[in-house]
Structure 1
Amino acid sequence: MSNQELAANVTVRRAARATARRLAVDFGSELKTQVETALDARDSDRRSEQYAVDPISLGSLIVSAATLAWTVYKDRRDQSQMPTPEVTSQRIRIELPTSDSIPSAQRDRVIRVVVEEIVTALDRE
């Protein structure tokens, strides 16, 4: 694993866990376990399939959104064009699959919190 891949993994894990902690009050403490399960699946190369197979899992949504948010920020930062959180959130909303089992307001809130946590994590680097 390259240094860049390692950094991405650490940032995504940190942001996904922080998002789960913040949202557990509203969505239940099992959200933390769902995120850990999704992170384990991501690490075993089942990342995109996990969300498609289990659309109900907010944990999978959090990990998928964190991975995409990190990629958006990293790509833009390499081009010296730091995207705004709003632009990043919109891109995630467009690129991640939707599901009838996750209400759009809940999905949007998860995405917003994930982007906030990615920005916070990248500011610490």
Structure 2
Amino acid sequence: MNVPTIQGARSAARRLRDRYPGLTIEVEEALQSGGARRPDQYADVVSLAALVVSAAALTWQVYNDLKTRGPAPEPDAVQRDVTSRLDTAGTAAVGRDELERVIRIVVTETLHTARPAHPEEDDEPAQP
């Protein structure tokens, strides 16, 4: 796995840990296993960790794919593409809004590690 994927998954897990206790540990385990687990349902923290790692890897792939076609893509464009491509089967227990929130956080954190920081941005998490 590449550095932005790893750092993005870790950062997203830290931002989500209040809502999902144990997520940071499970993301580390998913990273160590190469994200090989296939989530059947994202309501439990183990499967959510697999989703975070998968979304981070897909974010990096989408970002690079879009970047080869022109200037660096906007985060919203990356998020739309990731959301449409990510296998979200079994996410009914989480709910669509929460799933989109998790994906948005993963995309934001992964892109943040891949891009130079902008001075006008702060490090506070985005409000849901």
* TM-score under structure 2 length normalisation: 0.76
| C-alpha distance 39-54 of structure 1, shift in aligned 2 (>3 A) | farther
Match of 2:120 in 1: none
Instruction: Give matches, 1:7-86, under 5 Å.
Output: 9-28=2-21, 30-42=22-34, 46=36, 50-53=37-40, 55-56=42-43, 57-86=47-76
> In 1, distance between residues paired with 2:103 and 2:40?
19
Give the deviation of 1:21 after TM superposition: 0.5
Structure 1 residue matching 2:93: 3-state secondary structure: coil
Partner Cα distance (1:83, 1:124) in 2: 14
| Percent identity over paired residues | 32
- Structure 2 spans left out of the alignment, 5+ residues: 118-128
- What TM-score, normalized to structure 1? 0.78
Partner of 1:103: 95
CA deviations 1:72-92 (Å, max 9, x no partner) are 111222332322211211111
Distance in 2 (CA, whole Å) between partners of 1:77 and 1:93 is 18
Name the structure with the higher helix share.
1
Matched residue count? 112
**By how many angstroms is 1:32 displaced?**
0.5
